[in-house]
Structure 1
């Protein structure tokens, strides 16, 4: 029984597999299908693995989502088409064609933007059982024709060997499911287009047959910058590259069926324009410079100038040709230089150099008469081509230049000027001797001699003296009268370039006024190798003259602030005026005389560079007591702080005017002293102030409070031991109404401390911490110590006679002392007393009430009741 059931199960399973293996399959191409508006589209649909008749029917409809599908066309029902598409079906714009028994093709001749939809291919069922799929969907997208092609050739005219940029901007509005390809083509004359290079549609590169080798050699480069930019660069262009260029852009979509191939849906071509290639042979020019006449033993220098379009890309081979004078049929090669600069042929006596692009020089040292003749320059232009090869593009020879070698005398002109002339004594003077129109010197040298002549009667120069000579070897030879000034550097002789010479007098003196001239000599080599003077030219004299003026300086002192008492501030202003000085600077020295005609003492000085210095006449302890500053262009202020008796006397300014020389050093020109300002005040002793300060404004009970009494001396004597103080402390109680100030403690000038109050004051102490500070300490502070505290001080000082003098009393301001009690300690006794009193009163009232009730309100049992009226009356 079990065996029969198993056999039956296997049979059912085989039947189910057979049914599923023959399930109907309807297929359409993989989507989406992309077409341009106005193009045609054909969509195939086939069915397989079906049952029933071999010839199958098909229906095409538009899938509308939730709405009912719109019928397009059917192979068996002519009334299947929806009313919205009937006209297009009748006109043949939408049609269906059977390709076989199980295959059909839907065709739309001109798609519209509204045709973008999902198309469904359905097959009516002819199967005995429902299995597989009976329809398949494919999406059709119709896009607009938005492909744009903008070609540009930035440089339509290019020289042979140069580069051409072929730029093409291709773009479209929709990029989904489509790609672009760009093709560059070339047309020469009326011939057909020849493909250069194609990029795309699968980002591959296809090169035309005529340009494949050029692409491999790197002469054809693809430039993809993005953003729709496509470019090709043609390098090393030749004449055969001249013609018209075309840019073609194509839009592609994937082929139906999911294959790897591409289907072109749109193509657009634009002419880029013509490219003109200028042959090197047409633009190449060769010129030799120039007709030369030179002396024997001079160096012959000739220049060959080469110009051409795209000169930097050319390889130039230069050959110098020579035809001797008197031999017109004899032409020989002097020198040949390869394009890499290597000398191929030539003599060791002939040299060549390349001084720039297209500039080649020929030099022949020690030219002789036999070197006279015609010289020409022959140039071959080479251009690179693929694989590192070169080809000759052009060849040209210059017109010959005439060279005549003879003995020529140097020629020159000399011009002397004075770029800088003095206006005052000690100003600098500069003379410039310039050599112009120098000819035929070649490798010769120049020497110069500077001379000076005094002015004679009628402004005529007298006999001249040599200042200095710079000989042909560059050696400076000073004149006898100027040797010391040249050695010190007061006079300099400078050669700024081979043709200009400068003489500079850094400090021109009055005796330097007169006539100056320069004499320039040209020197050439003699056959023995030495130097000989060939020519000498002297300049016209230049007059150096000015009106000498004596510098004048005056100083006036004004009292700005009077020192009326000791310790006050004295201020004095010095105003400077000057004449006949050029950009002067001033130094100021303050001098002091204790009496008229006494030897002055230096107090403080200010240099011309505004550097302040305390002089030896001022004690080091008084460094901060003096100040000197520049308050204006020609005004200076002197201040003396805390004037003392020893400061009484006469003060005045000693001013010097300085001018700078060429080296920017200061030189003193003139000095002057001001009038004297006197400090005279009566000696009333030192002036001092008293101030008070508390270390703590508030202390806790039992702590120590400290207060400082501080004396400040104004105009104190130099020695600390020359002053002393009597100090007394007072207390102004806070808890005593209308109380008088209580004296606490005092110390006299000998240091003896006395307590002047009651027994409470034994809790105070007084300590002198330094010469001018006295500290009061209140020990074990309590509430009775609160209140104000102040001190009085009397100054004692030693006068000039050596005796102690008593000064006036000074009283400080008052400061307050507060004793801070904790809150509970301050209120606990009153609170406890109040609670105790309240409890006692309460207990007393209870006792009195009980006694009263017991004695007065209790009834006697022996007592007989009385008449209520009598009781009321009695009450």
Structure 2
């Protein structure tokens, strides 16, 4: 036989068998739960004729002797037999098409007497009657044993942002078949409903977290649940319960305003079909109650005591209390408490002290006062700042600033606070003795000051007060103004600090390049000395004075009384040997010039005379 004939016969054979009709349904038996939906897909392939095929469903029950019972048809409205007519008319039993050659039998609410063998038949549209025109699957209807309950529901009382929420759900399914349970906690409505995509305003159900049939935990996709789950703020665990079921516990470590809504727990029963796919065969939902999360910004209250104005004598103790309320669960939120102060004359507000979330106290504006002050937590919501002795530098307007980190016990340095609130100000006045002070700077009279001499600048101080006092002297120098040959200091020069003599007699030298010293000549006279003065030391000098007083406890404090002297000019003349050097240099230069001129004149005359003598010969 010719090869082309063989190929033609093979092609006919392939086409013949490829066009054989075949109807397929899932492998059985299929176990489904009474009272829940049944879906049976049916597909037909290898057919001829119209691309839209018709489907007819039959049932065979053992109690009827295996007789065929018409269920529903896509082409004949009068097809259903009496047991199914009412259910088909009501839509409880129907056929839903996925495409022209794929359809599904849907039984919305399965009954126990629906157990049996279901057959999917497709009327022929082929020119030849060949292939498989129907397929059947056995459906087993098992009783509904899925139970779900809850030990307690939400009380309906508002909870503060940052509080912990724990909900418990109990579920079980006592089935002879091997089934798995899946649990989902979710919420309807609330502030988080507005977080969905545009056009989805009607969708208010949000899954928070689920435990699937394989015991894998999955966070919901709506809102920020996945991010919070990754951060460990949301969790779900299964606990072995009693014979009535296992316990499923959901925890939200720190509630946010978006968590408001109506909570529910959903239990789903799953079974694995013979084809290996998992099917949900039962599902129940239990309402757990409504929850309203109150934002911390609405509930946080920060107050300070005493309120208004406080007046103290110098050396008296100062105690300020910061009271924090409305935070909710103190065990789930951490606080940063700061005491801030603005000086009595206004200015920039500075931090006095802070108590961090880790319980560590740090000092801000004056670290040298750490030993004379304390900040501590006295009780829940009470934080006290103490000054063991108050001085004028402690006067000002105090405020307590509280930053709350909701649901974070150990916030990182970059973690933003949930909310920050400040208390009303407390004005602290410290009474001091009346103090007046004046200062005069001068250069002692004497010989002209020359380079290399020791230059003295005196500061004469007069203090009027009651009780013991000491003064602190600071010397400064200013650059000379180019106008007026340096007789005036530069107006915009703040001055350079040269030396300091503290109230307790300690001296500090700051200038570089020159040797300086400070001392006290008399009770009201203080001296700055510049040894081996140089040209660079010329300029204008002044002194600044601060008065220190003694409190009743014997401690010294800065009274705040200050004075600044006018400037005095220091000018250095040239030394005597420097003055003699100039005429000496001029004299030597002149002598050399005259000598050279004489020698040159004599030599010139001698040479001319010698030339005339030679010419006469």
- The structure with the largest strand share of the pair is 1
**Bigger relative contact order, structure 1 or 2, given CA contacts below 8 A and separation 6+?**
2
Indicate the structure (1 or 2) with the bigger Cα radius of gyration. Answer: 1
